[in-house]
Structure 1
Amino acid sequence: MISTLLNYLANSSAITYIVLALLSVYTIVVFWIFFYRNSALNRLIANEKRSLEILTTSQSKFSPLSLLNQCSNGVASKEILHACEINIIKEASVGVSWLAIISSTSPFIGLFGTVIGILESFAKFANQSKVAFSIIAPAISEALVATAAGIFVAIFAYTFHQIISRKIYELNIYLKAQAEIIVAKG
């Protein structure tokens, strides 16, 4: 397997190296965003869940743990609380759009690498009068590695985007519930 990969890299063009390098950077970015955002969102959700429980079980107007309390400085205005919700969600969703961008562009980057690889393979065979399928097939299969790499990156980017989006939605629900309780307690 390693010898096949090394052989592939040895016979690859500069475009293939660029495509694989870009997809490698994409992979690193995808995992970094996911682990960073996921851990931050898990903390925020746990905190806001505790804050909501405090609001529903006590007579206090604000939970000291709540980000809404910190943002609004204890003001129970519906407009201020709504603005705070928006600000908190905006900060919580930093980097999520990159997951969507990477999930949609990485297959095309891989496909670009494949097309270039196939064009180079056919250019190598252009001077030969007869070329058997047994000679063309390995060249095309090597070119398809770029597409596979692009799809590989896209799968993780899309999956992580969906997970993070769901957590942002959950955080938003907790914030909205708290805001409604705070306004109702007036």
Structure 2
Amino acid sequence: MTNTILNYLSNSSAITYIVLALLSLYLIITFWIFLYRYFALASMLKNEQKSLESLTSRDSSFSPLSQLNKCTSGIKSKELLNACEINIIKDASSGISWLAIIASTSPFIGLFGTVVGILESFAKFSSHSKVGFSIIAPAISEALVATAAGIFVAIFAYTFHQIMTRKVYELNTYLKAQSEILIAKG
């Protein structure tokens, strides 16, 4: 396995190195955004869930840990609650659009690397008088590694984007429910 990877890298061009480096960077950014935002959102969701449970229980108090409570600072008008909801969701969803960008662009970056690899392979074969499938197949399969890497990165980015979008939706639901209760209670 290691020998195959080293052989692939030794036969690769500068474009392939750039494509694989960029996809590696994309993968690192994807995991960093996911881990950082996931734990921040999980904490926010936990606090908002407790706050909603507190509002719907007998004591009917607004949790001091709630982002909505911190934002309104005691004043509970419909307009202020709505503005706070929007601001909290905006902050909670920061970075998620990068996951969508990475998910949509990484396969194209990988495809670019594959096309360049195939073009370079055909350029090498132009000097040969006879080229058979046994010579072309390994060169093309090496070129397809870039596409596979792009798809690999896209799978993680898209999956993490969907998870984070769902978490933001849940947070929005908790915030809206709290706002409705506070407005109803006047």
TM bracket (short chain) = over 0.9
The answer on whether the counterparts of 1:48 and 1:175 sit within 8 Å (CA) in structure 2 is yes
Amino acid at match of 2:182: I
Amino acid at match of 1:33: I
CA drift at 1:59: 4.7
Q: Structure 1, residues 69-94: CA drift from partner, whole Å, max 9, x if none? A: 10011111000000000000000011
Which residue in the other structure is 1:155 paired with? 155
Which residue in the other structure is 2:74 paired with? 74
**In structure 1, the residue corresponding to 2:144 is in which secondary structure?**
helix
Is there any run of 5+ residues in structure 1 with no aligned partner, and where?
A: none
Q: Structure 1, residues 148-174: CA drift from partner, whole Å, max 9, x if none? A: 000000000000000000000000000
Q: Which aligned pairs between 1:22-33 and structure 2 lie closer than 5 A?
A: 22-33=22-33
Structure 1 CA distance, aligned partners of 2:69 and 2:127? Answer: 74
How many percent of aligned residue pairs carry the same amino acid? 75
Structure 2 CA distance, aligned partners of 1:58 and 1:89? Answer: 28
Structure 1 CA distance, aligned partners of 2:59 and 2:42? Answer: 27
**In structure 2, the residue corresponding to 1:130 is in which secondary structure?**
coil
CA drift at 1:129: 1.2
Q: Structure 1, residues 115-165: CA drift from partner, whole Å, max 9, x if none? A: 000000000000111101000000000000000000000000000000000
Q: Mean Cα displacement is larger for which, 80-89 or 59-68?
A: 59-68
CA drift at 1:65: 2.0
The answer on whether the counterparts of 2:85 and 2:172 sit within 8 Å (CA) in structure 1 is yes
Structure 1 CA distance, aligned partners of 2:142 and 2:69? Answer: 57
Q: Mean Cα displacement is larger for which, 135-144 or 52-61?
A: 52-61
The answer on whether the counterparts of 1:62 and 1:74 sit within 8 Å (CA) in structure 2 is no
Structure 1 CA distance, aligned partners of 2:58 and 2:177? Answer: 15
Amino acid at match of 2:5: L
Structure 1 CA distance, aligned partners of 2:49 and 2:62? Answer: 13
Which residue in the other structure is 1:6 paired with? 6
Which residue in the other structure is 1:131 paired with? 131
Structure 1 CA distance, aligned partners of 2:86 and 2:127? Answer: 63
| Matched length | 186
Taking structure 2 as the reference length, what is the TM-score of the superposition?
A: 0.98
Structure 2 CA distance, aligned partners of 1:93 and 1:155? Answer: 20
Say whether 1:146 aligns with 2:146: yes
Taking structure 1 as the reference length, what is the TM-score of the superposition?
A: 0.98
Amino acid at match of 1:168: V
CA drift at 1:61: 5.4
The answer on whether the counterparts of 1:106 and 1:153 sit within 8 Å (CA) in structure 2 is yes
Structure 1 CA distance, aligned partners of 2:54 and 2:38? Answer: 24
Is there any run of 5+ residues in structure 2 with no aligned partner, and where?
A: none
Q: Where has structure 1 moved over 3 Å in runs of 4 or more? A: 58-61
The answer on whether the counterparts of 1:61 and 1:185 sit within 8 Å (CA) in structure 2 is no
Structure 2 CA distance, aligned partners of 1:107 and 1:99? Answer: 13
